[in-house]
Structure 1
Amino acid sequence: MNQMIDEPLDRLRAAARRTRELALNRASTGLSHQDADVVGTIGTDDAIGFDPFPLLEALHHSGVRAVVIGQVAGIMHGSTELTGDLDLLWDGAPAHAPALAAAFTSVNAQLIDEKGIPVAPHPESFLRPKALFTSPGASGDCCTPALPWGDLRVQDFLDHAITAVDPGGLEVHYASRRDLIRMRRAIGRPKDLRRADELDSFTSVHSGRVPGDPA
């Protein structure tokens, strides 16, 4: 696993701050991250007060290895598009579910089903292929490799993940650029294809590689 120091987290902090500023005086629209196929969640209520760090810190302290995917990972790779949601991928192992549930509970997160009905944040609730969550700082999806991803071996993406570390010791795992592009193209929504093209255009000045990609 590759490890990068601080810079990706600096980018994420700056982007989250900018998202909060843009959404500060916005009237509620009633739209959530489930309604953001084109513009992205920057245009939904999930952007109001967006701050993924309380949940990321809770996951770090819980010891559960959850990998950031979606546009938060894109921002950590240098994407310029803002977002208002946090999507996660974990291994789905029942033995890890209690610690995962404890991390979400510690930030007052709530789970909802596909119809928007609240679900108790018990360990077994996270064992579904996808758990939708809301919290005071961030909302999004918490997925396992059991979620259909076409022909992608998403389990391997957990092994390819990069770890960003800040000076205080916070570790945030996030999908490699290559895997993130593949996930975006597999999902195929307009915002995913646009963001995949953006990530695909990044190149390293010195080596032809994008920093953060597996060697």
Structure 2
Amino acid sequence: MTQTTDQPLARVRDAVRRTAELTRGRVASGTGHNDADDTEGTIGTDGAIGFDPLPLLAALDRAGARVAAIGQVAGIIHGSAELTGDLDLLWDGSAAQAAAVAAALAAVGGMLVEDDGTMVPPTAAAMRRPKWDYVTPTAGGDLCTPELPWGALDVAAFLARAEQAEGLDGTTMHFLRRTDLVAMRRAVGRPKDLRRADELDRLAAAETAEKEGKKGKAD
């Protein structure tokens, strides 16, 4: 079901603004999202400088690509206060979607990144891998499919039931459900993942308490 609300996009816009304030004047150090500290995360890397995931998310929507935000951008959409410097994405890896994802990346000047740092143009043929690193002028991160080994996690099911919200500007954004994002966080288990999973659980508990309070007043 698609929600028509600007709140998810507004949360991302606010995070972009706060990230710009935090990194204003920061000198690039040559670090990327793969160099991120397991506690601090990518907010401490060069990826946070000029970080804005919205151009790529909008391009994916225009291209008809069904790609869900995972990682901390999804956390921000669900209300997390922590900032990030990367946009991790999950898509189904199918031939039908490969062309759309490649077109969206190309539209914003994106490139795929080999393990040795070589840049590869995004094409439908090149997309057929379980995982790529990617970069665009305003965001980079992991581009994953369910074919990547995910342990006990059924990420294909996560993707199938991902939420979507249509902003007031008409952009539709896909993102993991909060419970699935928490499960993914706890499975990875790094300090930042566990901290952010705890935060999302606290937010969920607070929302439940608020709803029960309102229901009690109505009764």
State the TM-score, normalized to the length of structure 1.
0.92
- CA gap of 1:172–1:207, structure 2 versus 1, over 3 A, is farther
Segments ≥4 residues shifted beyond 2 Å = 1-4
Post-superposition shift, 1:127?
1.7
SS at match of 2:148: coil
Instruction: Indicate yes or no: 2:23 matched with 1:18.
Output: no
Alignment identity in percent?
55
Indicate the residue corresponding to 2:9 in structure 1: 9
- CA gap of 1:162–1:4, structure 2 versus 1, over 3 A, is farther
SS at match of 2:17: helix
Q: How does 1:31-42 map to 2 (within 5 A)?
A: 31-36=31-36, 37-42=38-43
Instruction: Indicate yes or no: 2:49 matched with 1:27.
Output: no
How many residue pairs get matched? Answer: 208
CA RMSD of aligned residues (A): 1.4
Post-superposition shift, 1:120?
2.8
- CA gap of 1:183–1:19, structure 2 versus 1, over 3 A, is same
CA contact (8 A) 2:8 2:167 kept: no
Which ranges in structure 1 are unaligned for 5 or more consecutive residues? 209-215
State the TM-score, normalized to the length of structure 2.
0.91
Whole-angstrom distance in 2 between the partners of 1:122 and 1:64: 14
Q: Quick check: 31-40 or 99-108, which moved more?
A: 31-40
CA contact (8 A) 2:12 2:76 kept: yes
- CA gap of 1:136–1:152, structure 2 versus 1, over 3 A, is same
Post-superposition shift, 1:119?
2.2
Q: Deviations over 1:103-152 (max 9, x none)?
A: 10010011102232222312122221111111111011111011111111
Post-superposition shift, 1:207?
4.5
Indicate the residue corresponding to 1:108 in structure 2: 109
CA contact (8 A) 2:4 2:168 kept: no
Which ranges in structure 2 are unaligned for 5 or more consecutive residues? 214-219
